[in-house]
Amino acid sequence: MRHSLPIAPQFYVTAPQPCPYLEGRMERKLFTALQGENAETLNSSLSAQGFRRSQNVLYRPSCADCASCLSARIDVSKFKPSKSQRRTMNRNRGLKRRATSPWATEDQYELFRTYLDSRHSDGGMADMDVFEFAAMIEETPIRSRVIEYTDPETSELTGVCLTDVLGDGVSMVYSFYSPDRPRDGLGNYIILDHIEIARDAGLPYVYLGYWVPGSQKMGYKAKFSGLEVFMGGAWHPMRDPDAFASEQHPLSNDPIAEQVANISLPDLTSTRG
C-alpha cells in the first residue's frame, strides 16, 4: 500500500507484525525513505512530528487500533536532575566521552553483543551479525555521531550511542552499554550526558524515541523531568505518567491517508536546480 503527497517524499505502510512493546498486540509503521540533498532537513522536520530514523528510513507507529507509542523528548531548559540522577552522574563522572564519525568497530560490536545477550536476547535485534551492525551505524545520510564512553583506568569501552544531530536537538537513535555495571546506571547516564551535549551545543531538545505506557522496558523515560510526548499533532508536557493508558480502540488512529495529509513537510524544492 502506498500513499503520496503532491511532492516528495513517498509514504508507505508496513504489514502488521507482533508488537515488541505490548504483548498480544500488532504493530504497523508509516515510513518514508531518507535520501538525497534534503535528507537532513527532512529528518529534522519529521523527527519533530514523531518520526524516528533507522538507517535511511524515517518511520512512525501507525497501528490500526492502538495509539500507545508516543514519541518522547526532553526539553533541556526544563530538565532538573533528581537525587537518583545526580548520584548516577557522580558515579560515572570519570568516564571519558569521545565523539566520532559513524564508523563501526570490533570493540563496539563486542559490547553490542554482550548487551543484547544480557538484556534483549529474545528481541528483534538478537540475531544481528557484524555486517548488519555496521549497516546500522554507518548507513546514515545525515549528520550523525557515535558517542563512546570509556573507563580511563581500564580503557574499557563501557557505552556507545548512535546520535543524530537535528536542527533543534540531538536524537538518540540507539544506545548500548556494559551490563556488568548494573549499579552505575549507564543507560540513564548516557541520556543525562546527552542533555549536557545538547545544552553545550545550544540545542533545546534530546529526542529519546518512543515511550509506551504499560511497557516496563520503556518506563525509565518517564523519570526524566522536562519530558514531552507527541500526541494529536503536537508536543505536550509529561505531567503524570500514570494518566496515560495503553487501551485499544478501533478509532485510536486516523486513516493512513489522513495521517499522511496532516504531515507538515519542509520546502524541499528551494535547493534544487
Q: Is 268 exposed, middle or buried (0-12, 13-18, 19+ CB in 10 A)?
A: middle
3-class SS of residue 173: strand
Contacts with 68 (C-beta within 8 Å, 6 or more apart), sequence order: 21, 22, 212, 213, 214, 215, 246
User: What is the reported pLDDT for 254?
Assistant: 79
User: What is the reported pLDDT for 248?
Assistant: 67
Query: Alpha-carbon Rg of the chain, whole angstroms?
Result: 19
User: What is the reported pLDDT for 273?
Assistant: 43
Contacts with 103 (C-beta within 8 Å, 6 or more apart), sequence order: 137, 138, 146
Nearest alpha-carbon partner for 8 in 273, 267, 257: 267
pTM for this one? 0.90
User: What is the reported pLDDT for 270?
Assistant: 54
Answer whether residue 114 shows pLDDT above 50.
yes
Domain ranges of the chain: 2-69+245-261, 73-243
CATH architecture of the domain with range 73-243: 3-Layer(aba) Sandwich (3.40)
Burial 104-119 (b: 16+ CB within 10 A, else e): beeebbebbbebbeee
Q: What is the rounded CA–CA span in Å between residue 222 and residue 242?
A: 10
User: What is the reported pLDDT for 272?
Assistant: 47
* 167-211 residue pLDDT tens: 999 999 999 999 988 889 999 999 999 999 999 999 999 999 999
3-class SS of residue 204: coil
* 37-77 residue pLDDT tens: 899 999 999 999 999 999 999 999 998 888 889 999 999 99
